[in-house]
Amino acid sequence: MGNVSPHFSRSEFACKCGCGFTAVDVELLDVLEDARTHFGAAITLECACRCAKHNAEVGGVPDSQHLQGIAADIKVAGYSPAAVADYFESQYQNKYGVGRYSSFTHIDVRPGPARWNG
């Protein structure tokens, strides 16, 4: 499917159900590339785009940012999810969604700020 940025390919953003939904938001890519540069480590996208069917199957909220292709659940090699969330919260204090989970960090580029623990 080809690269959409220096460190990410379109296929990494694809809905896990195989439906072909692969919206890639430029602002989200910028945030992910910024994190890649900051941490100097590989980022794994655990989940990015979700179609409505897959979102329901995984228990996602009906208005999930994943449905719009503006969210990613990520792991950064060698860093705890808490450290990644701390970085996003300090870097983007007045915007974006940052979700803290035990095994990954959620980041989305919604217009306003949102913070939560999952």
Q: Please write the tens of the pLDDT for every residue from 54-66.
A: 999 999 999 999 9
Residue 25 structure tokens: 């938001």
| Amino acid 1: pLDDT | 55
Asked if 25 contacts 59 with a C-beta cutoff of 8 angstroms, the reply is no
Higher pLDDT, 11 or 2: 11
Domain coordinates in residue numbering, the chain: 10-117
CA dihedral sign of residues 114, 7, 13, 58: negative
Q: If DSSP codes are grouped into helix, strand and coil, which group holds residue 86?
A: helix
Query: Tell me, which fold does domain 10-117 have in CATH?
Result: Muramoyl-pentapeptide Carboxypeptidase; domain 2 (3.30.1380)
Asked if 49 contacts 68 with a C-beta cutoff of 8 angstroms, the reply is no
Q: Which residue has the tokens 């072909």?
A: 20
Residue 86 structure tokens: 């701390």
Condensed to tens digits (0 to 9), the pLDDT of residues 32-49 reads 999 999 999 999 999 999
- In the predicted model, what is the mean pLDDT of residues 84-101? 98
pTM for the predicted model, two decimal places: 0.95
